[in-house]
Structure 1
Amino acid sequence: MVALAFPLHPPGRPASSRAAEAAGVDGPLLVVQGERDPFGSAAEVRTALVRTDRPGREIVEIPGAVHALGPTRKADDPHARARLITTPVARFVTALVGPVPEASAPEASETDRMDPEDRAADRTAADRTSPDGLRTDPGSPRGRS
C-alpha cells in the first residue's frame, strides 16, 4: 500500500491517532509524509509504525512539506518536489511487481495525421457550426447566417 500524506491524527490532536489503522495494513507499506504535516509529521508516523515491528514498512519524509506535500514557497521548484514524491513511489512499486513494460503509443487519429494548416481550417469551420448543424455568422446580431 502507498499512503501519500497519511492523516495520522487531526491537527493538534495527537491523542486521536490512527496508528492502529496504518499498523493493521498487511503487506508492504510506503508512507510519503511531509516533514511539517499538521496531521502527523513524518517523524510521528515513523514512531507509530516502528511500534508495529512489521517488515516492509518505509517512510519517506518530504522536507519542509505540510499535508499537501507540494512546494511551500514560490521559489520551490514544483517539478523537483514532484520527483521527491514520485521517485520513491515508483521504486517501491517496482520492487513489488517488477518493472512496468513500456506502453505503446496509440495509433494516430485521422485529425492527428492531417497537415497542421488543414487541421486549423477544419477546427475553424467547426467553430462556426452550432450544435444543431447551422453555420453561425459572428457578424450577425443573433450569431446566425
Structure 2
Amino acid sequence: MTGRVSLLLGAVALVAGAVAVRLLAGGDDAGETVAAGTPMVQVVVPELSGDEARGRDLFGASCASCHGENAAGRAAIAPPLVHLVYEPGHHADGAFVLAAARGVRQHHWTFGDMPAVPGVSPQDVAAITAYVRALQRANGIY
C-alpha cells in the first residue's frame, strides 16, 4: 500500500512540475502556447512612493523590455518577477543586484540565460528591487 501511495504522489508531483514549467515557459494550463511577449501574470499595482516610484521608472527603462510592464513577464522572453519563485525568502534582494551586474544562468525557467544589465548602479537596482517587492506584496507574495 505504501508503494502505491508513493507512486501516486510521485506522479502528481511530476504533473504539477510539468505544468509549472509550462506556465513559466509561456504556455497556458490548457496546453496552448501563448504569443511571445504576452504578459504571463496579472499584476495589481499599489500606490508607490519614494524608492518604489523611482524603481518603477528605472524598471521601465532597464528591465521591462524583457520582464514586461509591472514585472508581469513576457511569454517566451523572460519570466514574471511577481511570482513565488522570486519571493524574498527564495531570492533575497542581493540576488537582484547580482543578476543586474553579472547576469544569471538559466535555472528556474526555459528562457535562456539573462545577460547583465548595463548602466544600472547598485543604488538603481535597490530602487528597482523596492518596486518589485512592492508589487509582490500587493499580489500576496511575501
Note whether the superposition's TM-score is higher than 0.5: no
Which protein has the bigger helix share?
2
Higher RCO (CA 8 Å, separation ≥ 6 residues): 2
Larger Rg: 1
Which protein has the bigger strand share?
1
TM-score by length of 2: 0.23
TM-score by length of 1: 0.22
